[in-house]
Amino acid sequence: MSSTTSSIVAQRLLLPSLLSLLLLIVTVISDDASTMPTQNMSHKERAELREESREMFYHAYRAYMENAYPADELMPLSCKGRYRGVTASRGDMDDILGNFSMTLVDTLDTLVLLGDFAEFEHAVKLVIRDVQFDSDIIVSVFETNIRMVGGLLSAHILAEYLQKQADVMHWYKGEMLEMARELGYRLLPAFNTTTGIPHARVNLRLGMKDPQLKKSRETCTACAGTILLEFAALSRLTGDPIFEVRAHAAMDALWKLRHRGSDLMGTVLNVHSGDWVRRDSGVGAGIDSYYEYLFKSYVLLGDDKYLARFNRHYNAVMKYVSEGPMLLDVLMHRPHAKSRNFMDSLLAFWPGLQVLSGDLKPAVQTHEMLYQVMQMHTLIPEAWTVDFQIHWGQHHLRPEFIESTYFLYRATGDHHYLQVGKRALKTLQKYAKVSCGYAAVNDVRTGKHEDRMDSFVLSETFKYLFLLFSDPQDLIINVDEFVFTTEAHLLPLSIAQLGNSTFSFRQSDEHNVLDFMRTCPSSNKLFPEKVRKPLRNFITGSCPRTISGKRLSALDFQASNADHLRAVYDMGITMVSVGDRSQGKVRLFHSFYNAKSQEEGEMGLQFMQEMLELTKMQSMNQLAQLQVRKSNDKNCPKNFIVAVAYAVDEQSQDWTALMAGPSHFSPELIGEQFVEGEIVLANPLRACDEKLENASDISGKILVAERGDCTFVSKARLAQKVGATALIVCDNVSGSSGETQPMFAMSGDGKDDVAIPVVFMYSLEFTKLSAAMLRRPQLRARIMQMVEFKRWQLAKEAHQNETAAAAAAAALAAGTMPKKKPDKEL
12: buried, middle or exposed (CB in 10 Å: 19+, 13-18, 0-12)? buried
Whether 706 is a known active-site residue: answer no
Amino acid type, 467 = L
Closest among 444, 355, 330, 457 to 405, alpha carbons compared? 355
Yes or no: say if 207 and 189 are a contact pair by the CB < 8 Å rule.
Answer: yes
In sequence order, the 6+-apart residues with CB closer than 8 A to the CB of 820 are none
Cα separation of 64 and 103, whole Å? 8
3-class DSSP assignment, residue 567: helix
Binding residues for Ca(2+): 486
Q: Which residues contact 314 (CB under 8 A, 6 or more apart)?
A: 291, 357, 359, 518
H or E segment to which residue 38 belongs: none
Which one is catalytic: 244, 382, 515, 600? Answer: 382
Active-site annotation holder among 72, 116, 143, 454: 143
Angle between helices 598-632 and 562-570 (to 10 degrees): 130
In sequence order, which residues have a C-beta less than 8 Å from that of residue 398 and are 6 or more positions away? 345, 346, 348, 380, 456, 461
- Supply the angle between the helices 242-256 and 228-238 in degrees, to the nearest 10: 150
Dist CA 179 CA 102 (whole Å): 13
**Tally of helices (H runs) and strands (E runs) in the chain:** 27, 31
Residue burial 132-168, b: 16+ Cβ < 10 Å; e: rest: ebebebbbbbbbbbbbbbbbbbbbbbbbbbbeeeeee
688 Cβ contact partners less than 8 Å away, ≥ 6 residues apart? 709, 710, 714, 715, 718
Q: How many Cα atoms within 13 Å fall on the side-chain side of residue 92? A: 5
Q: In 494-630, where do the E strands start and end?
A: 573-577, 586-590
Rg over CA atoms, the chain: 30
Cα angle vertex 221, ends 735, 459, to 5°?
Answer: 95
Distance CA 339, CA 8 (A): 40
CA distance 826 to 807: 17
Tell whether omega for the bond before 76 is within 30 degrees of 0, i.e. cis: no
Which string of DSSP letters, residue by residue, matches 516-534? G--PPPPGGG--HHHHHGG
Pick the closest to residue 235 from 245, 227, 226 (CA basis). 245
Which residue, among 743, 731, 730, 765, has the nearest Cα to 583 in the 3D structure? 765
Q: How far apart are CA 192 and CA 208, in angstroms?
A: 9
Tell me the residue ranges of DSSP E strands in 487-637.
490-492, 573-577, 586-590
Report whether 381 contacts 394 (CB < 8 A).
Answer: yes
Smallest CA-to-CA distance from 453 within 50, 54, 100, 63 is with: 63
Burial 278-301 (b: 16+ CB within 10 A, else e): bbbbbbbbbbbbbbbbbbbbbbbb
Q: Exactly one of 73, 288, 403, 765 is catalytic; which is it?
A: 288
Is 510 labeled as catalytic in the residue annotation? no
**Among this protein's residues, is 382 annotated catalytic?**
yes
143 is catalytic: yes
Catalytic residue among 119, 329, 400, 765: 400
The DSSP bridge pattern shows strands 390-392 and 383-385 to be antiparallel
Closest CA relative to residue 469, chosen from 56, 98, 141: 56
Q: How far apart are CA 74 and CA 87, in angstroms?
A: 11
Q: Which residues are annotated as a binding site?
A: 486
- Give the catalytic positions in this structure: 143, 288, 382, 400
